Structure formats: C-alpha cells, structure tokens
C-alpha cells in the first residue's frame, strides 16, 4: 500500500452518484426485521471511476486532498487495519465484489461527497453505494440491485466495521423522486419483494421537509448503537421469537427486564407508526396528518430507546412550537439531525426559531435546509 499526494485526472472517467437519506419514520427497526419509510436526499456522493487493468485500487477524495490510497487487489484483506477510516468504505466495496468472485482488473476512484458526515443522513451509505454502482457497471453488470445493496452493506459491516442494517443502502439504491420507500426488511432479505414506492409529493401539498442538523456528529462505530442492537436481540430471545418484528404490545409487557421492555416497546410501536404513515400517504391523505405520528416517534426514541440528545430534543420542540406539523430525530441517534414537516410559507420562521433557541442555549448554530424526495444511485449522463 502507498499513499501519495495529488489528484487523479478525471479525463475519460465516468461518474456515478448515490444519495444520503432520511427516514420519514422507522428508526432502529431494520435490524429487527421490521419496517421503515425513507426518502433519498438531493445531497449525493459522486464517484468518478475508470478501470485501468493494473491489479490495484487507487482511491482519492476531494474532501481529503493529498491523501490518496493505492492498494493491490490481493492485499485488500491484509491491509484493512492500516487504512484510514474513510478509505475502508470504498475499498471494502471492491473487496466485497472480489470476494464474491467478480473479476476486478484494477480501478481508480475519485470521490466527492456532499452529504454531511455524522449528521445521521447516511453519508457512509452514499459513499459505499456510489462506489458499488460504479464497480458494478464497470465490472459486473449482471449484479442485481438487491445484490448490489447486499454488497454495499457487507462492505460497511465487514470491512469498515459499521454495524448497519440494510436500510441505508436500500434507500440509496431504490428510492425514486417524489416517493418514500416502504421497506419490509424481512421480505426484502427473503427476496420476495419487500419494498413499495409510496407517493410523497411535498411541493404539491405546499409543504417543506426541513433537516435540522445539530452539528453534533454521531458515529455508528461507537458503542451506543451496538448496545441497542444487543438489547433488541436479548429482548427477542427472552420472548422466544426470531426478531422483535414478531411481537405485539401485549407480548412486550411480559418482559420482566424493564430496560428490554422499553427497547422492545419502541420497536413494536415504531413498526406500527411506519405502517400508519404509509397507509395515510398511500391513500392520498394530506401529508400534514402524519405530523403527530412523527412527534410520537421522537418521544419513543427519546424515552424508550434513549438515543436522542438534548440538542435533538430542543430542535424538535422548537420546531413544533414554531408551527411545524411534526418533527423527530432521524438516524441512529446520539447526535446528528432532526426533521420537521412544515408549510412552505412557514419554513423560514421555523428555521429561525430553531436557530434562536440554539443560540439562547449556547449550542452550536444548526444547519437547516429543505429536502425533497430524490432519485437513488445512478450513473450521471
């Protein structure tokens, strides 16, 4: 392995993109075989790629000038621990393809990410999926979208060490403009469908979806996320079911361990909230009607799952008090972002109220921006 300065010429390189995501509803349900309802963001990671026949993988990032990484394909497994953390995601994707028998002859990758890191918007999945779709198109066009998602997830889990479920990669690949993606994780893993495009046209309803980035990053490789997964598994074991998807509220109250009861209650009620929101949107109801469900979801993440933070709670409360129809934290928690569903004419007022409350409390100035449901991963023209 060698690291060099400079940036590879992108002459003759083609470019692929993959988006970040937010869940409208459905946090910490994917690794419990449950349901989620994400949208893709207009914020993307770009991967310019070119096969070169050298037997090596060269990776550069516009966000890390002068820090390129160059590894022989045969050394990918051996050098993993020596790599900078950012490089493990793209190199893990190449390793996953090679490990499943796809012939990679050598490739140069230049990355450029616009998804905020640590904001709970799945910047890592955007990175992994942009590389995955580029590698697929260049070397393994027979790979299906479902297999592509699994390759990107394996890269994050096994090579980068991020214990994600399949939600983030599914959203990055499968989402479509103007829709939310209803994901049934168990059915998706079984290969029997598992996803549905649900209409979510914000502009037609006169609505904006604001992202409220608290500026306090989270990291899935930290211990909190891993502990929550372990607690959910322990609760499922105690209830003698394969996953918490398989229980209802009546079963949850049988858990003697109060901590496990709270964790399971969040998952069970969150799955119900996903299905309720999807049913309302599918039926063409006014999206404003999902606002109270979003607030309930935040309360569950705060109280039962205990993954919110003071800054996230303040963002949600300030947005709601300023007129948002609903608001909730998004992502794995322990930092990151919230969302707020607002009338378009009130977006500036809600954003201002959140900023003012953060300033009053001496918090970092939040980054606030509106998003619309965007396209999944694709090659740019």
Residues serving a catalytic function are 168
Can you tell me the distance from the alpha carbon of 211 to that of 370, in angstroms, rounded to the nearest whole number? 6
**Can you tell me whether residue 320 is helix, strand or coil?**
helix
Can you tell me the distance from the alpha carbon of 112 to that of 60, in angstroms, rounded to the nearest whole number? 9
Can you tell me the distance from the alpha carbon of 360 to that of 381, in angstroms, rounded to the nearest whole number? 46
User: Taking the mean position of all CA atoms in its chain, how far away is CA 201?
Assistant: 21
The sheet that has 326-329: what strands, in order across it? Answer: 326-329, 337-343, 207-213, 367-371
Contacts of 287 (CB under 8 A, 6+ apart): 200, 202, 205, 207, 280, 281, 341
Instruction: Tell me the Ramachandran region of residue 191: left when phi exceeds 0, alpha when psi lies from -120 to 50, beta otherwise.
Output: left
Measured CA distances, 87 to 156, 178, 181, 299 (Å): 11, 33, 29, 36
Backbone angles phi, psi at 46, to 5 degrees: -100, 140
Can you tell me the distance from the alpha carbon of 329 to that of 340, in angstroms, rounded to the nearest whole number? 9
Can you tell me the distance from the alpha carbon of 277 to that of 272, in angstroms, rounded to the nearest whole number? 9
Can you tell me the distance from the alpha carbon of 8 to that of 1, in angstroms, rounded to the nearest whole number? 17
């Amino acid at each position: 392995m060698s690291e060099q300065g400079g940036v590879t010429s992108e002459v003759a390189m083609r470019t692929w993109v993959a988006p970040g995501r937010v869940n409208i509803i459905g946090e910490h349900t994917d690794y419990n075989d449950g349901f989620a309802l994400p949208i893709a963001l207009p914020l993307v990671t770009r991967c310019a790629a070119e096969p070169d026949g050298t037997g090596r993988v060269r990776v550069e990032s516009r966000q890390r000038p002068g820090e390129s990484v160059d590894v022989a394909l045969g050394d990918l497994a051996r050098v993993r621990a020596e790599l900078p953390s950012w490089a493990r995601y793209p190199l893990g994707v190449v390793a996953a393809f090679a490990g499943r028998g796809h012939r990679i002859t050598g490739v140069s990758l230049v990355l450029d990410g616009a998804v905020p890191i640590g904001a709970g918007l799945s910047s890592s999945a955007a990175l992994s999926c942009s590389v995955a779709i580029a590698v697929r198109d260049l070397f393994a066009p027979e790979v299906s979208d479902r297999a592509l998602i699994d390759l990107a997830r394996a890269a994050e889990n096994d090579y980068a060490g991020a214990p994600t479920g399949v939600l983030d990669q599914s959203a990055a690949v499968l989402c479509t403009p103007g829709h939310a993606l209803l994901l049934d994780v168990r059915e998706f893993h079984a290969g029997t469908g598992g996803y549905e495009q649900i209409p979510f046209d914000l502009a037609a309803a006169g609505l904006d979806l604001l992202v409220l980035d608290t500026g306090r990053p989270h990291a899935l490789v930290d211990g909190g996320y891993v502990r929550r997964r372990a607690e959910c598994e322990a609760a499922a074991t105690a209830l003698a079911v394969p996953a918490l998807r398989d229980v209802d509220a009546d079963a949850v109250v049988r858990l003697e361990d109060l901590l496990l009861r709270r964790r399971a209650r969040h998952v069970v009620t969150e799955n119900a909230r996903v299905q309720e929101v999807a049913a309302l949107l599918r039926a063409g109801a006014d999206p404003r009607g999902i606002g109270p469900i979003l607030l309930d979801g935040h309360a569950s993440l705060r109280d039962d799952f205990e993954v919110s933070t003071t800054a996230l709670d303040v963002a949600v409360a300030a947005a709601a008090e300023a007129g948002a129809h609903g608001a909730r934290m998004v992502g794995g928690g322990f930092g990151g972002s919230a969302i707020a569903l607002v009338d378009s004419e009130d977006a500036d007022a809600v954003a201002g109220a959140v900023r003012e409350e953060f300033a009053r409390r001496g918090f970092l100035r939040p980054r606030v921006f509106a998003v619309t449901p965007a396209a999944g991963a694709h090659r740019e023209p």
